[in-house]
Amino acid sequence: MELKCFVYPGWAPRIRPASPRREWMDASPESFAYRCLPLGIANSHGWEILNPRGCEVIWNGGPAAEDVVVRPDPGGQDHDAAVALFGLGTVTFHIAGIFRTPAGWNLWAGGPPNSAKDGTSPLTGLVETDWAPFTFTMNWKLTRPNHPVRFEEGEPICFIFPVERRVIDSVTPTFAPIGDDPELMARFEAWSRSRYEFQGRMRSHPPSAPAEKWQKFYHQGVDASGGCPRPDHQTKLHVAPFGLAPSPAREAIRG
């Protein structure tokens, strides 16, 4: 599958594969937050678009666009600066790229997962990037009046990944008693017993090595029996960086 970012003259988007790391996870005792594999996978499940120009933003609590004041850092291009555009305590970053996905695929655009920022919260959108000849904006909702918020140059301001458009409409969610699946019930109860016993051992005989303080079943992709039901279990993503795509003009020059 190809995800293409078309760049207009003068645009210079900064996009990179998303990092699995977070400062608050680094700061957790023994970095135990990284034991939660779903967090790490979500952190790196896409690409980060970085802020091209630092700024300070402050909101007085009012609903109008002019109730938000944006103070861009000196230097840089005017079109790289964040703006107060929509009101309702939002600040807007223009994304310098027109993205193209295959037919039937959207682009999810929001804030970096599992990353908090004091005084503001990212807004999330789904963009039909298989047809739209437009750029989109990344917007952050300010949550604390009269509280200055800094967006540093190079800070991730947007997180993107492709989503198939019709999948959610085709899902049929249901409830079912676990007894309808005896194998699942047996595997769950085995895991539950194992988990209870493991936690008891941790309380009575705490290990000294950090790696021995967590059970690792999910991280290793196994159940309590040690079996791995899915050969495609992932503990790490390999998200490719954006590269220079071939174009007719460049191919003509090479020829």
> What tens digit of pLDDT does each residue of 35-74 get?
999 999 999 999 999 999 999 999 999 999 999 999 999 9
Asked whether residue 126 carries a pLDDT value surpassing 80, the answer given is yes
Task: Note the pLDDT of residue 247.
Answer: 63
Please answer whether residues 112 and 26 qualify as being in contact, where contact means their C-beta atoms are separated by less than 8 angstroms.
no
Burial readout 196-229 (b: 16 or more C-beta within 10 A, e: otherwise)? eeeeeeeeeeeeeeeeeeebebbbebebbeeeee
Q: Burial letters for 146-164: b for 16+ Cβ neighbours within 10 Å, e otherwise?
A: eeebebeeeebbbbbbbee
198: left (phi over 0), alpha (psi -120 to 50) or beta: alpha
Per residue in 199-227, pLDDT (tens digit) is: 887 788 887 777 777 778 888 888 888 88
- pLDDT tens per residue across span 138-176: 999 999 999 999 999 999 999 999 999 999 999 999 999
Residue 50 phi/psi, 5-degree rounding, is -95, 150
φ, ψ at 140 (rounded to 5°): -120, 130
The Cα–Cα gap between 103 and 234 comes to 27
**d(C-alpha 75, C-alpha 102), whole Å:** 37
One-letter amino acid identity for 59? W
d(CA 161, CA 170): 20
227: left (phi over 0), alpha (psi -120 to 50) or beta: beta
Q: What is the DSSP letter of 148?
A: -
Q: Which pLDDT does position 217 carry in this prediction? A: 84
Q: Is the pLDDT of residue 252 over 50?
A: no
pLDDT at 253: 39
- Mean pLDDT value across residues 8-27: 96
Percent of the chain with pLDDT over 70: 96
Q: What is the mean pLDDT of residues 180-195?
A: 93
Residue-averaged pLDDT of the chain: 92
Task: Quote the pLDDT of residue 254.
Answer: 42
Q: Which domains does the chain have, with CATH numbers?
A: 4-169 (2.70.40.10), 180-239 (no CATH)
* Whole-number pLDDT of residue 246: 66
Q: Quick count: other Cβ atoms within 10 Å of Cβ 65?
A: 15
d(CA 34, CA 31): 6
Q: What is the pLDDT of residue 124?
A: 98
**CA-CA distance, 181 to 190, in Å (whole number)?**
14
Give yes or no for residue 231 having a pLDDT over 90: no
